[in-house]
């Protein structure tokens, strides 16, 4: 929250709405929401400001709401919100760290086209890749790794100092900027406040290891970079980037990803979360896809019109989503 406040809330038009649900004085859950003005209507949405892949409340220990209880809770939450035309919460996972996500229990929760994926990390880190790679993926990774070793001194770095965070993150921003410009796509990190948020979060969490920044270099040149979160025994990939044409045939993005997989298992983590998106290389690691849901609740006639218009646009143009992008 501190990084959001420091970097993103100022430039945005969002008004934070942190809703606490309690029963008989006992806190049950916290929902970080935001009120925003969008093209003539007011909308309550998740407090992600474009940098969060999932929506799930913070639950007190031992809390497990039934469908009926969550329906009542949702009515109380809606009653506590300020005036708005629409309430829309999207990218809701069905469960989080083995606990059901109560938002996904709501009858109005509908599956969306976007999904997340990941796989279990098990056994000896030294033989992890042999076990998780599908088909020819392992031999291809090994071949490209050997080829890269011939190009120079290869080093995989997990940033441990502020200087390393800055150096690797600077390279990540440069690499993404070049790649997205080449593809003619918008890069979220092109917004200075978003880049500042990610950098600040990495530095604030350097000591506790919640945020991790990785780099793969050859003779001191960063050829691939990545950014992820560690929480609840899992690694969550957030950003990945790689150098351009000179290194593309070495597949540095896949190589840094596999290095992170082995590192994660060595750290005792038991799940690798690709988060959202469907980059082709992910299929080489037997990921399990997970359904994501959305809740859209119109609260005025204008909100209903906005909801219908959005659904029509999605049917004709496909799902459009601004995401931070998973590893």
* Residue 133 and residue 261 in one domain: yes
pLDDT per residue as tens, the chain (327 positions): 666 766 777 667 789 999 999 988 899 999 999 999 988 899 999 998 888 899 999 999 888 889 999 999 999 999 999 999 999 999 999 998 888 999 999 999 999 999 999 999 999 999 999 999 988 999 999 999 999 999 999 999 999 999 999 999 999 999 999 999 999 999 989 999 999 999 999 999 999 999 999 999 999 999 999 999 999 999 999 999 999 888 999 999 999 999 999 999 999 999 999 999 888 889 999 999 999 999 999 999 999 999 998 888 776 654 444 444 567
* Residue 300 and residue 249 in one domain: no
Give the integer Cα–Cα distance in Å for 265 and 259.
10
Residue 278 included in any domain:
no
CATH of the domain at 33: 3.40.630
Q: Quote the distance between the C-alpha of residue 110 and its chain's center.
A: 20
Q: What is the pLDDT of residues 60-71, one digit of tens each?
A: 988 888 999 999
* Residue 186 and residue 168 in one domain: yes
* Residue 171 and residue 110 in one domain: no
Residue range of the domain that includes 182? 122-269
Residue 129 included in any domain:
yes
Domains in the chain, number: 2
* Residue 67 and residue 147 in one domain: no
What is the token pair recorded at 91? 């990218």
* Residue 264 and residue 299 in one domain: no
* Residue 87 and residue 206 in one domain: no
Burial label for 49, CB within 10 Å (0-12, 13-18, 19+), is buried
Residue 275 included in any domain:
no
Specify the DSSP element, H or E, that contains 223. Answer: strand 221-231
* Residue 260 and residue 173 in one domain: yes
Helix (H, G, I), strand (E, B) or coil at 249: coil
* Residue 199 and residue 243 in one domain: yes
* Residue 151 and residue 236 in one domain: yes
Q: Quote the distance between the C-alpha of residue 326 and its chain's center.
A: 6
Q: What is the pLDDT of residues 234-276, one digit of tens each?
A: 999 999 999 988 899 999 999 999 999 999 999 999 999 999 9
Residue 285 included in any domain:
no
- Going by their DSSP bridges, the two strands 86-93 and 41-46 should be labelled as parallel
Residue 324 included in any domain:
no
DSSP state of 14: -
CB of 17 within 8 A of CB of 82? yes
* Residue 240 and residue 107 in one domain: no
Residue 248 included in any domain:
yes
CATH of the domain at 151: 3.40.630.30
CB of 29 within 8 A of CB of 64? no
* Residue 91 and residue 167 in one domain: no
């Amino acid at each position: 929250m501190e990084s959001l406040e420091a970097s993103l809330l100022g430039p945005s038009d969002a008004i934070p709405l942190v809703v606490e649900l309690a029963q008989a004085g006992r806190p049950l859950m916290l929902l970080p929401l935001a009120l925003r003005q969008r093209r003539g209507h007011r909308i309550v949405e998740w407090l992600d400001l474009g940098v969060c892949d999932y929506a799930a409340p913070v639950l007190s220990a031992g809390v497990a709401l039934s469908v009926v209880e969550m329906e009542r809770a949702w009515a109380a939450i809606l009653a506590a919100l300020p005036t708005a035309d629409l309430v829309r919460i999207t990218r809701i996972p069905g469960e989080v760290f083995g606990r059901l996500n109560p938002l996904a229990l709501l009858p109005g929760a509908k599956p969306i086209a976007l999904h997340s994926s990941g796989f279990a990390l098990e056994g000896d880190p030294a033989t992890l890749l042999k076990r998780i790679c599908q088909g020819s993926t392992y031999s291809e990774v090994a071949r490209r790794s050997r080829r890269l070793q011939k190009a120079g001194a290869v080093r995989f770095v997990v940033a441990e100092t502020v200087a390393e965070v800055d150096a690797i993150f600077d390279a990540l921003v440069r690499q993404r900027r070049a790649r997205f410009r080449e593809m003619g796509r918008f890069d979220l990190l092109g917004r200075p406040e978003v880049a500042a948020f990610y950098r600040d979060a990495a530095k604030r969490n350097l000591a506790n290891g919640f945020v991790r920044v990785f780099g793969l270099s050859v003779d001191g040149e960063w050829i691939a970079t990545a950014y992820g979160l560690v929480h609840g025994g899992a690694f969550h990939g957030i950003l990945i980037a790689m150098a351009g044409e000179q290194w593309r045939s070495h597949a540095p993005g896949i190589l840094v990803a596999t290095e992170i997989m082995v590192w994660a298992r060595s750290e005792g983590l038991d799940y690798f979360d690709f988060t959202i998106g469907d980059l082709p290389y992910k299929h080489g690691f037997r990921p399990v896809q997970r359904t994501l849901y959305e809740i859209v609740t119109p609260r005025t006639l204008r909100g209903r019109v906005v909801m219908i218009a959005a659904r029509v646009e999605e049917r004709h143009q496909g799902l459009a989503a601004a995401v931070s992008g998973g590893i």
